[in-house]
Structure 1
Amino acid sequence: MPTESIVLRTIDDREQRIEWDESSPLHLTIETRAGELTIRKGVFRGGVSEGVEIVRMANSRMHVDILPTRGMAIWRMQANGVRYQWQSPVVGPVHPNYVDVGEPSGVGFLSGFDELVTRCGLESNGAPEHDANGQLLHPLHGHIANTPADALSVEFDEASGRAELVAETIEARLFVKRFRMRTRVRIHADRDDVELLDDVTNELSTPASMQLLYHINVGAPVLGKDARLNVAVEEVAPRNDHAAEEIDRWERFDGPTSGYVERVYFAKPCSDESGMGHAMLADAKGARGLSVRFRTSTLPWFVLWKNCAETGDGYVAGIEPSTNFPNPRGFEHERGRTVDLGPGETESFRVTLSPLTTPEEVQQADEAIRKIYEDQSIEVNTFNTPRADWSIEVENNAPESEGN
């Protein structure tokens, strides 16, 4: 007699694990003057995803999946049939209960890393840092990505066709810190942009300093052999000697390559007349891409993470506007690359993701970046070797593989 089986869930189909809650107050269909918007609230069931909340915001052409349980990360996005995500070896989303951020090596963050957009911060956002006795001071990429949102709501405006998922996330420790991050993820009924509006407040009665990096991770189908990054920058330098080997093609990508060792590049972005920096990743044919715009007054630095590994090993490009470079916090603080907040003071951060699904949209994004260079007569200053004031690896003369 043949063996029979009944499948409850599989590893590969993550969306199969979502249990949508039609009784949730966040289960909404909103008719606006600009078109229809829908919002759905659900939770993942089974395995390391058990209990992870998901909110899907959508218009007629696109949807974006947000994970309140994971620091309001954006898990995936889809627009006009093009998916924006990457294939991490980590099968997520992973509940923070299964991510030991503070484990002794300092790289526990990597056990839960598979989102399209991950916030790194808020006390620190870079490579792990240990004291002279080997005690972990600051883990890789900080705590906020594995901190669940405490407050969650939706705001919408029928006249403008705007909807926002609003959350508040607290990163705190007695005697050390209390940061409140108020996040708004905004979409519109008549366009495909996703806006991230984050306001971080120091809620202690004493001054504090913070860091924040937006780790925007793009894989296939946008990323592939001969994909390219176009970004408006004044200066660019390799993080280490390994990255320096390809500084002449730092913005170009190889296809998936087994055994590839990541390369990271640091840059000083320039902005358009509205104060926004521009970066775009496009495929080899210029047929589709992703545009990232960010306010440079509060995100004055830019990082490119190139990990052209085999697809299953994590083939991905990291587009990363930041308050600083992702060196250990102490190194950055000594060089003035932390954000100082007085008691009750707030800093605001703005990032916009725009899916580009036609050659015309890619061309328009290219043109916007070209205009920044022309209007300001900018010539890029490319450093062939790491800069001592930008990278701790010049001091240490040793590779660091998890500080991107």
Structure 2
Amino acid sequence: MPARIDLYRSSFDDRERQIARMGAFTVSGFRYDSGIEALRIRNARGEIIVLPFKGQQIWRAAFDGRDLTMKSMFDEPVDTQVYLETYGAFMIHCGLTGVGAPGPADSHPLHGELPNAPFQTAWLEFDEAGERLTVGGTYRYTVAFSTNYLATASIGLGADSALIDVSLSVENLKQTPMDLMYLAHANFRPVDHGELHYTANYDAGSVRVRRSVPAHISPKPDYMDFIAKLAEDPLPHHRLDPALAFDPEVVFSIDMLADDDGLAHAMQRHPDGTADYIGYRPSQAPLCTRWICRTPDQDGLGFAFPSTSEVEGYTAEKAKGHGVELAGGGVWRIDIRMGLLTGAEADGVEADIARVRAAAS
């Protein structure tokens, strides 16, 4: 029978304390100096730090001696719901009333209300064999005359695995439809001369660079020339040459292809043969966003953000026909796998990607 431990904010304090131990797993809890509650979850391969009551973010992920998380200016999470005032987590749920930068007609914040949402419940669960651990939690968001939903998040990790299973389900508690927009902001650390491989056609029609400049960034003089070149041919960005101008950021929208099992795959292949990996079902999130930011202060690679829409804000995305119309009482769900692949595992995924691309050509 699985073992479940309910978590409470009052159980966390400034001193890190062990909460549970089973097999290869050790779980401890603590508060950052900012007051944010955190879980450190260790297995045989490494550890993740989860913020159970703050968006169920994965703040850090490290496996096989390597920190997978982007470099940012934040050493710890900040007690705020403003997106850019607490930044740099490994994995952030974005949405749900809008994603991306809000336009003039939008009322949602940058990337919506979900990234730093104050989850009302959280828990740990071990399977009967002690081979799998899950962190879960719920967040109910209600605005009179507008929105009423329940989001249930989960983060699963195997005892000897460097791959994390992230899921989110959303139940529309209204009797009328709701518009839902979602993006999974998984922020890996880019490596110089890393190579991007993914199940898509590598042409400008399938890999589209964003031409607009959102208000929160200030591009350098040569930025738009670089964007114009990528708009004609996206191939140069597949190798992360440190000389490329990913400053402050470059964003792509990608039409991902699925394999025979319905899965899309993407990875950053490191020079040592290992890889960072994302896998998901386009049937759940039909679009893919790619974000690359390489500056002296922030170094991040979101090589595949499963998403229901692009990142121009609710009004613009609604006009494009993007997003999900979730019926009253309906449930929407997404399941994503992310983390680190060994060299042998990466060889297998690269071969799968090549097969999918060849079949589509």
Decide: shared fold, TM above 0.5: yes
Say if 2:23 is the partner of 1:41: no
- Report matched runs for 1:61-72 at 5 Å: 61-72=45-56
| Cα contact 1:75–1:117 (8 A) shared by 2 | yes
Q: 1:21 aligns with which of 13, 17, 23?
A: 17
Say if 2:232 is the partner of 1:265: no
Q: 1:176 aligns with which of 143, 146, 166?
A: 146
Q: Output the TM-score relative to the length of structure 2.
A: 0.85
- Structure 2 CA distance for aligned equivalents of residues 273 and 205 of structure 1: 36
What percentage of aligned pairs have identical amino acids? 24
Q: 2:360 aligns with which of 378, 381, 385?
A: 378
Say if 2:309 is the partner of 1:324: yes
* Offset, 1:117: 0.8
SS of 2:255's equivalent in the other structure is strand
- Report matched runs for 1:307-386 at 5 Å: 307-310=293-296, 313-319=297-303, 320-356=305-341, 358-374=342-358, 377-379=359-361
Deviations 1:250-279 (A, max 9, x none): 322232779924211111111112211101
| Cα contact 1:254–1:308 (8 A) shared by 2 | no
Say if 2:63 is the partner of 1:76: no
Q: Output the TM-score relative to the length of structure 1.
A: 0.76
Gaps of 5+ in 1: 1-16, 102-108, 380-404
| Cα contact 2:22–2:130 (8 A) shared by 1 | no
Which has the higher relative contact order, 1 or 2, with Cα contacts under 8 A spaced 6 or more apart?
A: 2
Gaps of 5+ in 2: 1-12, 212-223
Say if 2:196 is the partner of 1:229: yes
Q: 1:44 to 1:165 in 2, by over 3 A?
A: same
SS of 2:71's equivalent in the other structure is coil
Q: Which amino acid in 2 is paired with 1:239?
A: R
* Offset, 1:344: 1.4
- Report matched runs for 1:89-128 at 5 Å: 89-96=73-80, 99=81, 101=82, 109-128=83-102
SS of 2:360's equivalent in the other structure is coil
SS of 2:240's equivalent in the other structure is coil
Q: 1:250 to 1:18 in 2, by over 3 A?
A: farther
- Structure 1 CA distance for aligned equivalents of residues 269 and 20 of structure 2: 34
* Offset, 1:57: 2.1
- Structure 2 CA distance for aligned equivalents of residues 154 and 40 of structure 1: 11
User: Could you tell me which residue of structure 1 aligns to residue 215 of structure 2?
Assistant: none
SS of 2:352's equivalent in the other structure is helix
Deviations 1:191-212 (A, max 9, x none): 2221011111111222111111
| Cα contact 1:224–1:254 (8 A) shared by 2 | no
* Offset, 1:179: 1.9
| Cα contact 1:37–1:57 (8 A) shared by 2 | yes
Q: Which amino acid in 2 is paired with 1:238?
A: V
SS of 2:136's equivalent in the other structure is strand
* Offset, 1:216: 1.0
Q: Which runs of 4+ in 1 moved over 4 A?
A: 256-259
